[in-house]
Structures are given as C-alpha cells and as structure tokens.
Homo-oligomer: A and B are copies of this chain.
C-alpha cells in the first residue's frame, strides 16, 4: 500500500517570485507516474518557525514528505537543521560527505569553503541521499515509524538526477509506487468546453479511468487517467472509454496526446498525397509557421504568400482590383480569390487563405475587429469561405492565433470529408 505523499518546497526566492517552481511540477509528474497520490503542495520561505508549522500539518495527514531547497552552504539554508530540531534529533557530521565535497572542489581546481562543512551535517539515524552533480546531498529519514522524509536541493537538474537514481529505487524497494497513473489527452477544436462537457458529462462520474475537461489557449481537452499496476493495464482501461468518447464527439476531436492541428493536417495530406499552400493577410505568416513547425512538412507544404498589403493580394495572388474595391479586403470573395490564387500559382492540391481585422485599429461598424474570413480551395479548384467573429476583447494576438488554428481546422475537416467520399 503506497503512502500519501506531500511536496514541500522551501525557499524565499519562490515567495519573491524570482523563481518559477518547476520542482513541484516535476515531482507531481513523477509521483503520478508511480501512482503515489499527493493532495497538497506547499511553498514556505527559509524560516524555521514557518517550516515547523508546515510540518505540523503535513505529518498529520501524509506519510511521505518530499522537501526541495534549503540544503545549501549559506546561513539561510535551514531545511536539514529545522527537520532535526522538529523531531528532537541531534545532527552529526558525515565524514564521507566532507570527503566528497572536497573532491568535487578539487576536480574544479578549487578549495572547499569552510561553509560547505554545514552540508555534511545530517540527523542521527538518517541515510545519505547522494547528489552526484552538486555539493548538497539530501537524506532519506524515517524519524518515526510510518513517516518518511526525503530532502533534495532546489537546483532542478541535481534534484532530478537524485530522484531518478536513488529516490525511485528506494520507493520501489519499499513496495511503494508499484501502481502507475497513465493519462491520455483527447484534443478538440471548434467546440466550447461547456458544450463538450454537456455531451460527455456522464463520463465525469467514472472512477477508474477518470475523465476531466480542460481548456488551453482555445483548445479544449478531455483527459482520461487510469490507475493500474502497469502502463499496459492502464491503457487497456483507457481504450474503451476513449473509443466511446470519440464516438460521441466525432470529428470535433482532432487528435490525442502530442498531436497538433498542424501535425494532423500534415498526416491527412500525406495520406491523400496532397499538397497545401497558404495565403495570409492578418496572420502575417502565422499559419505557415504552424504548418512548418512539423518536422518533415516539406513533403506536403509548398509555401505561400504573406499578402499583408492589398497590392500584394493583387500582385502575388491575382486578387482582382474590382473585388477589393467592391467588397473590401476582408470579405468572402477576397478570401476565396486568395485561396484560388495561391493554389494556382504554387500548383498545389489545396489552397487556404486568411483575411481579417486583427485590431486593435481598423475596425468599423460593418466590419468590426475580430472579423475574419477563411477561404479554402479544393482539388477541383472550387473555393468556399467561412466567416468568423473572434471578438476584440482578447486582443490582436488572440484573433491571429484563433484565425490560424481555425484555418487548420477547416483544412482538416475538408480533408476528412474528401476521405469519406
């Protein structure tokens, strides 16, 4: 039976906002992989009284306390001595640590500072948790039966190596962390979180695997997490739930895990031996950038035009002057002419275009900021276009981001339709 863990990060720099707490994130992921639950993470400054307050709560509710930070040689590094004091245990000097630190310094042609001696003091009865890449060792200590403390320095690279090389084998050796939590992320575009949640809400009651919705920069996710004794077993629990969710949500689900809209579009283009070119106005290259972010995209992405100025829409894309004059650059007709123009100039199977008003300037009452037309031209040189209003509230970059991703989603849905024909 695995213990309940708790993560306690010690460091005034975390309270001042000088340092982003990536250690808690790393440890949380590691504990999840091991199937060891934790319910609390705490950050506290380099202050013995406050650290003791945190210990009071933590010892009452958790059995495995994992500390980072406060192991250095300077006077504000107080974690080890505060823990010893809390459990009324004397510190003792470990000569093997002194020798190691001295060696470490000698390797770099330096002499050990007297202040480093402090790092060799560990509570009586604790075990050394070696630090192969730094001078601050940690410890594994069971100050009373059923309560284990692990300490790590705050430097992420040192902590990671100590976790992998010593902590994981220790935990497994105790018969803990035999369970794994494995997750699968289903990714959605073109449906709001609330609408998706309503379609699949009965799944939120499941226990193993669990299903939960998230939003991330315009994408909506469903995370399916299973607890099992192996990854394969967890995957077997996830699979039928994923199948049902995909069945219910259909093409709104564009992929899973590491997939992106651009990679999924790339796979579809490759499968259909098709090629794509882009014509961008308000996104200024952002759609091309997303497409070429996928390694190997040169097999289907040919290129495009950044037609920011209307003259470029005419000269590089062959948009008609009279269309621009009659309907304006931000219109269905111009979007379609742009898509057709780049498709025929670069001789690709598909052409896609974006023209819109990203703001903050340039909006009118008929054509407000956030109005965007996305054009697509298919293998028969038939063009269509779609109108969106992404609003002005979230700003220029948001409109541009939604525009580029929505264009990818339109290409994806067109390619799926072509596939089904």
Contacts and interface: CB of A to CB of B under 8 A. Distances in A.
Interface in A319-372: 345-346, 358-361, 370
A7 B231 CA distance: 35
A278 B25 CA distance: 39
18 contacts: A13-B223, A16-B32, A17-B25, A17-B27, A18-B183, A19-B25, A21-B41, A39-B45, A40-B43, A40-B44, A107-B391, A108-B391, A109-B389, A285-B306, A289-B400, A295-B360, A304-B306, A306-B306
A315 B98 CA distance: 49
Interface residues of A, number: 114
Interface stretch (A81-89, A120-128, A194-202): A194-202
Nearest to A155: B215
A25 B20 contact: yes
A188 to B, nearest CB: 14
- Most B C-beta atoms less than 10 A away, residue of A27, A197, A311, A345: A197
A286 interface: yes
A208 interface: no
A70 interface: no
Interface string A187-217: 0000011110110010010000000111100
B301 A284 contact: yes
Interface stretch (A53-61, A165-173, A264-272): A53-61
A40 B29 contact: no
Contact of A16 (B14, B114, B183, B397): B183
Interface string A49-90: 010011001000100000000001111100000000000000
A397 B394 CA distance: 26
Contact of A396 (B183, B212, B293): B293
A282 B292 contact: yes
Interface in A210-248: 212-215, 223, 225
B28 A197 contact: no
Given A108-B391, A285-B285, A293-B396, 8 more contacts: A18-B183, A57-B57, A284-B291, A288-B288, A295-B359, A298-B309, A301-B308, A303-B305
Contacts of A113: 192, 194-195, 197-198
B50 A39 contact: yes
B43 A41 contact: yes
Interface string A401-412: 000000000000
Given A17-B31, A50-B39, A304 B305 contact: yes
A30 interface: yes
A12 interface: yes
Q: What number of copies of this chain does the assembly contain? A: 2
A94 interface: no
Contacts of A183: 16, 18
Given A39-B44, A293-B397, A305-B303, A389 B346 contact: no
A298 B360 CA distance: 12
A47 B43 contact: no
Contact of A74 (B12, B204, B223, B400): B204
Given A21-B21, A24-B21, A32-B16, A40 B39 contact: no
A381 interface: no
B193 A72 contact: yes
A285 B287 contact: yes
A359 B298 CA distance: 11
A302 B310 CA distance: 9
A418 interface: no
Nearest to A293: B397
A22 interface: yes
Given A28-B14, A289-B286, A115 B393 contact: no
A291 to B, nearest CB: 7
A39 B213 CA distance: 32
A109 B15 CA distance: 42
A281 to B, nearest CB: 8
Contacts of A198: 113-115
